[in-house]
Chains A and B, each alone.
Chain A
Amino acid sequence: MKSMKALLAATAALALMVGAAQAKTLVYCSEGSPEGFDPAPYTAGTTFDASSRPVYNRLVQFQKGSSEVEPGLAESWEVSEDGLEYTFHLRQGVKFHTTDWFTPTRDFNADDVLFSFERQWQEDHPWYAYSAGITWEYFNSMSMGDLLETIEKVDDYTVKFTLTRPEAPFIANMAMDFASIMSAEYAAQLEEAGTMDMLNQQPIGTGPFQFVNYQQDAVIRYASFDDYWGGVQPIDDLVFAITVDPAVRAQRLQAGECQIMPYPNPADIEMLRNDPNLTMMEQEGLNIGFLAYNTQQEPFDDPMVRKALNMAIDKQAIIEAVFDGAATPAVNPIPPTMWSYNEEIEDDPYDPEAARQMLADAGVENLSMKVWAMPVSRPYNPDARRMAELIQADFAEVGVSVEIVSMEWAEYLEQSSQVDRDGAVLLGWTGDNGDPDNFLAVLLGCDAVGNANRAQWCNEEFEALIQEAKTITDQEERAELYREAQVVFKREAPWATIAHSLVFMPMSNKVSGYVMDPKGTHAFDGVDIAE
Chain B
Amino acid sequence: MVRFLLNRLLLIVPTFIGITIIAFAFVRVLPGDPVLLIAGERGVTPERYQALMSQFGYDRPIWIQYWDYLLGLFQGDFGTSISTKRPVINDFLTLFPATLELSLCATLFAVVIGVPAGVVAAVRRGSWLDQTIMGTALVGYSMPIFWLGLLLIILFSGILGWTPVSGRISLMYFIPSVTGFMTIDALLSGQDGAFLSALHHLVLPAITLGTIPLAVIARQTRSAMLEVLGDDYVRTARAKGLPPQRVIGIHALRNALIPVITTIGLQVGVMMAGAILTETIFSWPGIGKWMIDAISRRDYPVVQAGLLLIAVVVMVVNLIVDVLYGLINPRIRHR
Among B1-9, B12-20, B28-36, the one that faces the other chain is: B28-36
A467 contacts chain B at the CB level, 8 A cutoff: no
- Chain B residue numbers with a CB within 8 Å of A428 are 41
- Complex contact A251–B165 (CB within 8 A): yes
B41 and chain A: residue at smallest CB distance:
A429
Taken together as a complex, chains A and B put the C-alpha atoms of A10 and B168 apart, in Å, by 22
Contact code string B29-58 (vs A, CB < 8 Å = 1, else 0): 001111011111111000010001001100
Contact code string A105-141 (vs B, CB < 8 Å = 1, else 0): 0000000000000000000000000011111010011
- Chain B residue numbers with a CB within 8 Å of A244 are 280, 283, 289, 292-293
The B-contacting residues of A in range 379-418, CB under 8 angstroms, are 408-411, 413-414, 417
Q: How far is the CB of A498 from chain B (nearest CB, A)?
A: 15
A253 and chain B: residue at smallest CB distance:
B165
The B-contacting residues of A in range 240-278, CB under 8 angstroms, are 241-245, 247-248, 251-252, 254-255, 257
- Chain A residue numbers with a CB within 8 Å of B31 are 408, 410-411
- Complex contact A409–B37 (CB within 8 A): yes
Taken together as a complex, chains A and B put the C-alpha atoms of A30 and B185 apart, in Å, by 25
- Complex contact A255–B43 (CB within 8 A): no
- Complex contact B283–A218 (CB within 8 A): yes
- Complex contact A257–B165 (CB within 8 A): yes
- Chain A residue numbers with a CB within 8 Å of B83 are 35, 42, 44
B192 and chain A: residue at smallest CB distance:
A14
- Chain B residue numbers with a CB within 8 Å of A251 are 153-154, 157-158, 165-166
CB within 8 A of A243: which of B84, B86, B166, B193? B166
- Complex contact A248–B41 (CB within 8 A): no
B65 contacts chain A at the CB level, 8 A cutoff: no
B94 contacts chain A at the CB level, 8 A cutoff: yes
- Complex contact B168–A218 (CB within 8 A): yes
Among A96-104, A163-171, A209-217, A521-529, the one that faces the other chain is: A209-217
B326 contacts chain A at the CB level, 8 A cutoff: no
- Complex contact A35–B84 (CB within 8 A): yes
- Complex contact B95–A132 (CB within 8 A): no
- Chain B residue numbers with a CB within 8 Å of A427 are 41
Q: How far is the CB of B211 from chain A (nearest CB, A)?
A: 18
B174 contacts chain A at the CB level, 8 A cutoff: yes
The A-contacting residues of B in range 135-168, CB under 8 angstroms, are 150, 153-154, 157-158, 161, 164-168
- Complex contact A132–B55 (CB within 8 A): no
Q: How far is the CB of B288 from chain A (nearest CB, A)?
A: 10
- Chain B residue numbers with a CB within 8 Å of A25 are 171
Q: How far is the CB of A333 from chain B (nearest CB, A)?
A: 14
CB within 8 A of B167: which of A218, A411, A413? A218
Taken together as a complex, chains A and B put the C-alpha atoms of A243 and B168 apart, in Å, by 11
- Chain A residue numbers with a CB within 8 Å of B110 are none
B285 contacts chain A at the CB level, 8 A cutoff: yes
- Chain B residue numbers with a CB within 8 Å of A73 are none
- Chain A residue numbers with a CB within 8 Å of B168 are 218
B301 and chain A: residue at smallest CB distance:
A133
The A-contacting residues of B in range 221-272, CB under 8 angstroms, are none
B101 contacts chain A at the CB level, 8 A cutoff: no
Size bin of chain B's contact surface: 35 or more
- Chain B residue numbers with a CB within 8 Å of A219 are 167, 171
The A contact surface, by secondary structure, is mixed
- Chain A residue numbers with a CB within 8 Å of B82 are 133
- Chain B residue numbers with a CB within 8 Å of A216 are 91, 94-95, 285
CB within 8 A of B85: which of A18, A32, A41, A254? A41
- Complex contact A215–B177 (CB within 8 A): yes
Q: How far is the CB of B156 from chain A (nearest CB, A)?
A: 11
With known contacts A11-B192, A27-B171, A140-B48, A408–B32 Cβ distance under 8 A? yes
A15 contacts chain B at the CB level, 8 A cutoff: yes
A221 contacts chain B at the CB level, 8 A cutoff: yes
Contact code string A297-329 (vs B, CB < 8 Å = 1, else 0): 000000000000000000000000000000000
With known contacts A11-B192, A132-B80, A414–B36 Cβ distance under 8 A? yes
Q: How far is the CB of A447 from chain B (nearest CB, A)?
A: 11
The A-contacting residues of B in range 281-309, CB under 8 angstroms, are 281-283, 285-286, 289-290, 292-293
With known contacts A217-B285, A217-B289, A11–B193 Cβ distance under 8 A? yes
Chain B positions near chain A (C-beta within 8 angstroms): 31-34, 36-43, 48, 52, 55-56, 80-87, 91, 94-95, 150, 153-154, 157-158, 161, 164-168, 171-172, 174, 177, 192-193, 196, 280-283, 285-286, 289-290, 292-293
Q: A35-B84, A133-B80, A410-B31 are in contact. List 20 more A-B contacts (CB 8 A).
A: A11-B196, A14-B193, A15-B193, A132-B87, A133-B55, A133-B56, A133-B82, A135-B55, A140-B48, A216-B91, A217-B285, A219-B167, A242-B285, A243-B166, A257-B164, A410-B37, A411-B31, A413-B43, A414-B36, A428-B41
A-B contact pairs, 28 of them (CB 8 A): A11-B196, A14-B193, A18-B172, A27-B171, A36-B86, A131-B85, A132-B85, A132-B87, A133-B80, A135-B55, A197-B86, A200-B86, A216-B94, A218-B168, A239-B171, A241-B167, A243-B166, A244-B292, A244-B293, A247-B150, A251-B154, A251-B158, A255-B164, A409-B32, A410-B32, A410-B36, A414-B33, A442-B42
Rank and list the top 7 A-B pairs by shortest CB-CB distance, nearest first. A217-B285, A410-B36, A408-B31, A218-B285, A11-B193, A410-B32, A451-B43
Chain A positions near chain B (C-beta within 8 angstroms): 10-11, 14-15, 18, 25, 27, 32-33, 35-36, 41-44, 131-135, 137, 140-141, 197, 200, 213, 215-219, 221, 239, 241-245, 247-248, 251-252, 254-255, 257, 408-411, 413-414, 417, 427-429, 442, 451-452
